[in-house]
């Protein structure tokens, strides 16, 4: 392996588990190199403001979809996470909805959050200057001179040879960074399928598909034509019907009939991303048994529900997420 890339590899794979800043920082640098359109002919300079935008993108998408925890200290989350979350809260308030949207799709100016967005970037830049940019180069009391810094100006410099190497090995480095990032997140989170989540964020395919196709089954539970809310037990008017993941989608990252119920719009557990109570879990198990009885036993969905009941998915997932 190229000696320069070997240094990157060592820094990424051996850095401490304090938080995930170094992952965001290194990933942003590699992404900026990849996105450089002009041929690399001299020194390459990146501005911390552009690095901050990418860091915000990573944290925004990981947080808004999966609410992943980024450090071992729950009481005091890392600053950049707090700034990102604050911006997400402002965004939800503006939209008056908690529907997650990818960072790349948002124009903060159009939705009237230009100032707040710039403020967030400024805060991230400050943390990058103070904590991240120079620390990333240090390992075991040694400094790897993989780039030059101007911390006052907020700039990072790569010579031509190194910039070309980074570009050539970018796929390899993305893989190493995502691997290490996943390792860290697995240490901080009970959430499952973390490597899938980290990859999905890169691949632009965090899709939340329509749950309409499940109506045909959930309707089997309705007495007459009235749909009943799983949480409050009242009937639901047609324009108030919503399908809810009892164990929130951000934990499961999939749509499974055994985890889906009808509820009133706005009563979704998604809203809080909280795990359901034991009582709800018990009722869901009971519901699944009744539903299975009412389904035709010649479909894939029937088989899946049956397996979920036999293998006790509801309780098992719930217990494992509670930690
Ligand atoms: Zn209700």
Q: What is the pLDDT along the chain (323 residues), one digit of tens a residue?
A: 799 999 999 999 999 888 899 999 999 999 999 999 889 999 999 999 999 999 999 999 999 988 888 998 888 889 999 999 999 999 999 998 888 889 999 999 999 999 999 999 999 999 999 999 999 999 999 999 999 999 999 999 999 999 999 999 999 999 999 999 999 999 888 778 888 888 888 887 777 778 999 999 999 998 777 899 999 999 999 999 999 999 988 888 889 999 999 999 878 755 567 889 999 999 999 999 999 999 988 889 999 999 999 999 999 888 888 87
Domain match, 242 and 183 both: no
Residue ranges near ligand 1 (ion) with Cβ within 5 Å: 229, 231-232, 264, 267
pLDDT for res 204: 73
Ligand 1 midpoint to CA 140 (Å): 56
Domain match, 110 and 219 both: no
Q: Which of 167, 202, 237 is the last residue of a domain?
A: 202
> Per the structure, how many domains does the chain have?
2
Ligand 1 midpoint to CA 268 (Å): 9
Q: Is residue 305 part of a domain?
A: yes
Helix, strand, coil percent content, the chain, rounded in steps of 5: 60, 10, 35
Say what the pTM is: 0.83
Ligand 1 midpoint to CA 222 (Å): 14
Q: Is 44 exposed, middle or buried (0-12, 13-18, 19+ CB in 10 A)?
A: buried
Q: Is residue 249 part of a domain?
A: yes
Q: Is residue 207 part of a domain?
A: no
Ligand 1 midpoint to CA 218 (Å): 15
Q: Is 156 exposed, middle or buried (0-12, 13-18, 19+ CB in 10 A)?
A: buried
Which structural domain, as residue segments, surrounds residue 228?
212-322
pLDDT for res 202: 85
Q: Which of 149, 169, 202 is the last residue of a domain?
A: 202
Domain match, 192 and 229 both: no
B/e letters for 9-34, b = 16+ CB within 10 Å, e = fewer, are bebbeebeeebbbbbbbbbbbbbbbe
Domain match, 9 and 80 both: yes
Ligand 1 midpoint to CA 267 (Å): 6
pLDDT for res 54: 98
Structure tokens at 54: 């990418």
Ligand 1 midpoint to CA 265 (Å): 8
pLDDT for res 179: 95
Q: Contact 57/31 with Cβ under 8 angstroms? A: no
Ligand 1 midpoint to CA 234 (Å): 6
Ligand 1 midpoint to CA 236 (Å): 7
Beta strands in 140-253 (DSSP E): 142-143, 148-150, 155-158, 227-228, 235-236, 241-245
CA separation for the pair 297, 245 (Å, rounded) = 23
CA separation for the pair 18, 208 (Å, rounded) = 32
Q: Contact 116/108 with Cβ under 8 angstroms? A: yes
Ligand 1 midpoint to CA 216 (Å): 20
Ligand 1 midpoint to CA 10 (Å): 53
Q: Which of 173, 202, 231 is the last residue of a domain?
A: 202
* Phi-psi group of 271: left, alpha or beta (phi > 0 → left; psi -120 to 50 → alpha; rest → beta): alpha
pLDDT for res 270: 56
- Name the residue with tokens 């729950």: 74
Ligand 1 midpoint to CA 275 (Å): 17
CA separation for the pair 128, 303 (Å, rounded) = 51
Ligand 1 midpoint to CA 270 (Å): 14
Ligand 1 midpoint to CA 266 (Å): 9
Ligand 1 midpoint to CA 3 (Å): 61
* Phi-psi group of 7: left, alpha or beta (phi > 0 → left; psi -120 to 50 → alpha; rest → beta): alpha
pLDDT for res 272: 64
Ligand 1 midpoint to CA 252 (Å): 22
Domain match, 135 and 280 both: no
Ligand 1 midpoint to CA 241 (Å): 9
Domain match, 197 and 120 both: yes
pLDDT for res 193: 85
CA separation for the pair 135, 143 (Å, rounded) = 9
Beta strands in 44-180 (DSSP E): 44-47, 138-139, 142-143, 148-150, 155-158
Ligand 1 midpoint to CA 304 (Å): 27
Domain match, 189 and 260 both: no
Question: Helix 21-34 to helix 3-14 angle, to the nearest 10 degrees?
Answer: 150
Domain match, 192 and 234 both: no
Ligand 1 midpoint to CA 284 (Å): 15
CA dihedral 309, 312, 314, 316 (to 10 degrees): -170
Ligand 1 midpoint to CA 235 (Å): 8
Ligand 1 midpoint to CA 262 (Å): 9
Ligand 1 midpoint to CA 261 (Å): 11
pLDDT for res 291: 96
pLDDT for res 271: 57
Question: At 261, which helix (H) or strand (E)?
Answer: strand 260-264
Order of strands, edge to edge, in the sheet holding 148-150? 44-47, 155-158, 148-150
Domain match, 221 and 149 both: no
């Amino acid at each position: 392996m190229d000696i320069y890339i070997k240094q990157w590899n060592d820094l990424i794979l051996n850095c401490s588990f304090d938080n995930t800043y170094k992952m965001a920082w290194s990933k942003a640098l590699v992404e900026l190199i990849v996105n450089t359109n002009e041929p690399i002919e001299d020194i390459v300079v990146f501005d911390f403001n552009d690095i901050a935008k990418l860091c915000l993108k990573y944290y925004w998408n990981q947080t808004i979809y999966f609410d992943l925890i980024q450090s071992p200290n729950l009481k005091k989350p890392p600053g950049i996470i707090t700034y990102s979350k604050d911006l997400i809260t402002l965004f939800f308030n503006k939209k008056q909805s908690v529907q997650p949207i990818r960072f790349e799709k948002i124009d903060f100016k159009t939705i009237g959050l230009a100032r707040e967005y710039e403020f967030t970037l400024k805060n991230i830049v400050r943390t990058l200057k103070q904590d991240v940019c120079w620390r990333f180069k240090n390992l075991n009391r040694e400094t790897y001179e993989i780039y030059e810094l101007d911390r006052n100006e907020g700039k990072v410099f790569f010579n031509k040879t190194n910039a070309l190497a980074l570009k050539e090995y970018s796929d390899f480095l993305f893989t190493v960074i995502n691997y290490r990032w996943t390792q860290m997140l697995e240490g901080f989170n009970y959430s499952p399928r973390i490597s899938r989540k980290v990859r999905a964020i890169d691949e632009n395919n965090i899709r939340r598909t329509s749950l309409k196709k499940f109506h045909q089954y959930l309707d089997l539970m309705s007495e007459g034509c009235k749909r009943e809310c799983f949480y409050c037990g009242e009937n639901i008017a047609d324009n108030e019907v919503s399908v809810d993941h009892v164990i929130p989608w951000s934990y499961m990252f999939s749509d499974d009939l055994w985890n889906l119920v009808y509820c009133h719009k706005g009563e979704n557990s998604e809203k809080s991303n909280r795990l359901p109570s034991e009582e709800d879990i018990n009722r869901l198990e009971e519901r699944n048994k009744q539903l299975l009885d009412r389904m035709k036993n010649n479909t894939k969905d029937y088989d899946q529900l049956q397996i979920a009941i036999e293998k006790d998915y509801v309780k098992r997932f719930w217990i494992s997420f509670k930690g």
